[in-house]
Amino acid sequence: MVNRSDVHYFGAGPAPLPTAVLEEAAQVLLNYKDKGVGLCEISHRSPEANAILAETKQALITLLDIPDDYDVLFLQSGGSGEFSATVYNLVAIWVEKKRAKIAEEVGDNQDEVLARLRKVVDEELKLDYLVTGSWSLKASQEAARLVGAKHVNVAADARKANGGKFGAIPSEDQWSLTPRTAGGGPALVYFCDNETVDGVEFPAFPKSLEGDDAPLVCADMSSNFISRKVDVRKYAVIFGGAQKNIGNTGIAIVILRKSLLPPHATPASPDLLRQLNLSVGPIVLDYPTIAKNNSLYNTLPIFDVWVAGQVMLGLVNAYGTKRIGGQEEISNEKARSIYDTLDKYPDVYRVVPDKSVRSRMNICFRVHGGDADKEKGFLAGAEKKGLLGLKGHRSVGGIRASNYNAVTTEGANLLVKYLEEYAKS
C-alpha cells in the first residue's frame, strides 16, 4: 500500500490539496459540526452555508487585499464557463452604454435609436484578446463563437513571434489593441495570467492596460490564483477555477468591480440583445443575478466552497500580515530551485518557454530534446521515487512540473534531487 506521505504530486489540475484540509474534509463529509449530517447534505441556504460563504470570501479578501468596491462571486462555471460569462456580461454593459448615449441624442424615437445602435455594434464592438497560450486561445475562440469573429480582435498572438508555437509573450509595442477614445474602446481586454499548458506567465500587469482610461480588463488566473500579490484595482474582472491552487473541482471564483453591477451599471436587456443579433447569456452566468443572491441563485456546492475556504484560511493563518506575500516568497523559491537545476544541464533538459515569461506554477520542459523513449524513462524513474503527475499536457507532450501552493518545499527539493541524479546518470 502506498501512503499519501510516500508521494509528491505535481499534476496540473486537479491539483494537490493540503493534507490537513483533506483530513478535516473527511470528517465534515460524515458529520459537520456534530450535526449528524455531512457537509454535502446541508442546505445551501442554511445559516451554516452562509457562514461558510462569508468566511471563504473574507479569507480571499484578506489574502489579496481586495478593496471594498469589489465583490467576490462563486459560480459552478469553471474557468471555461467564465470564458463565456465575461463576454455575456461585459458586452451587455457596453451595448447599454452605447444605447443610452444614442438615446440622449435622438430622444424617444426608438426606431432611430435601434437603427443607430445596430450600426454602432456592427462597426465598433470589439473584444481584445492577448493569445499567449492554449487557454487564452480557447477563450478567444469562445468569444468568436458567441458574438462573431468580426468582433474579436486578437491583439497579440504569441505564435507569430515564436515560430508558430506558444512560449513567449510579444512585446507590448507589437500589440494591436483597439484604440481607446472618449466614449469608445473595446468592450474588454482579455488575457490569461498564467498558461497552464504552455508554462507561460505574465511577469507583471501590462503597462499598456494601465491608466484612467484603461479598458475593462478580464484576467484568467485559474492556475496562479493566491500564489502572488495582485493589484486588484487594475482589473475589472478576475476569475479562476478552484481546482489548481485553491480547492477541488467544482467552482469558479470571480472578483468583480462593483461599478459593473446595478445600480452603477445596467446591462442591455435580453430583448435588445436579440434585436441586435447578440447572444443572451444563461441566468447562472449573469453577474448581477449571482451578486444579488450572494452566489446562491442556484444550488451552490457548499462543500467545494468550504474546501477553498479552508485552503485560504490556512494561508491567512500561516502568513499573517504578509498575506499572500508569504506564499509568493515560497512559490518563487521553489520555482527558482527547479529552473536553476534544469538550466544547469542544458544537454539533458530544455525549458520550453522563453526565460522572460517562465511560469512559476507550471514548469514545462523537454528531456533529451523531446526523445519519446527517454521522456518515458524519465517519468518512470520519477514515479519510482514517488514523484507523480509530471507528464506534460496531451496537446504538447514533454514534462510539466506544476508548482502549486500545496506542493511542499520538501517535494520540490526531491524533484530537484531527481533532476540532478537523472542528468548525471
Name the band, by pLDDT with cuts 50, 70 and 90, for residue 181: confident
269 in the same domain as 392: no
Q: In this structure, what C-alpha cell is assigned to residue 33?
A: 459540526
289 in the same domain as 159: yes
385 in the same domain as 330: yes
How does pLDDT run across 295-326, given as a tens digit for each residue? Answer: 999 999 999 999 999 999 999 999 999 999 99
pLDDT in the model for residue 21 = 97
331 in the same domain as 296: no
> Does residue 14 sit within a domain?
no
The Cα-based distances of 193 to 129, 241, 269, 374 in angstroms read 12, 13, 31, 32
- The letter for the amino acid at 84 is S
Determine how many CB atoms are found less than 10 A away from the CB of residue 263: 5
> Does residue 176 sit within a domain?
yes
148 in the same domain as 246: yes
pLDDT in the model for residue 184 = 83
Q: Is the predicted pLDDT of residue 145 greater than 90, yes or no?
A: yes
Distance in angstroms (rounded) separating the CA atoms of residues 308 and 99: 40
Name the band, by pLDDT with cuts 50, 70 and 90, for residue 396: very high
What share of the chain has pLDDT > 70, as a percent? 100
How does pLDDT run across 87-120, given as a tens digit for each residue? Answer: 999 999 999 999 999 999 999 899 999 999 999 9
First vs last C-alpha separation in the chain: 29
Going 7 to 12 to 15 to 18, the CA torsion angle's sign is positive
Residues 6+ apart with CB under 8 A from 13: 196, 222, 223, 241, 243, 244, 249, 402
> Does residue 175 sit within a domain?
yes
> What average pLDDT is seen over the chain?
96
387 in the same domain as 290: no
Distance in angstroms (rounded) separating the CA atoms of residues 364 and 379: 14
- The letter for the amino acid at 414 is L
More confident residue, 364 or 184: 364
299 in the same domain as 378: no
> Does residue 312 sit within a domain?
no
Determine how many CB atoms are found less than 10 A away from the CB of residue 14: 16
359 in the same domain as 214: no
How does pLDDT run across 228-263, given as a tens digit for each residue? Answer: 999 999 999 999 999 999 999 999 999 999 999 999
CATH of residue 379: 3.90.1150.10
pLDDT in the model for residue 108 = 85
Domain that holds residue 82: 57-304
Indicate the pTM of the whole model: 0.97
Q: In this structure, what C-alpha cell is assigned to residue 197?
A: 499548458
Q: Is the predicted pLDDT of residue 214 greater than 90, yes or no?
A: no
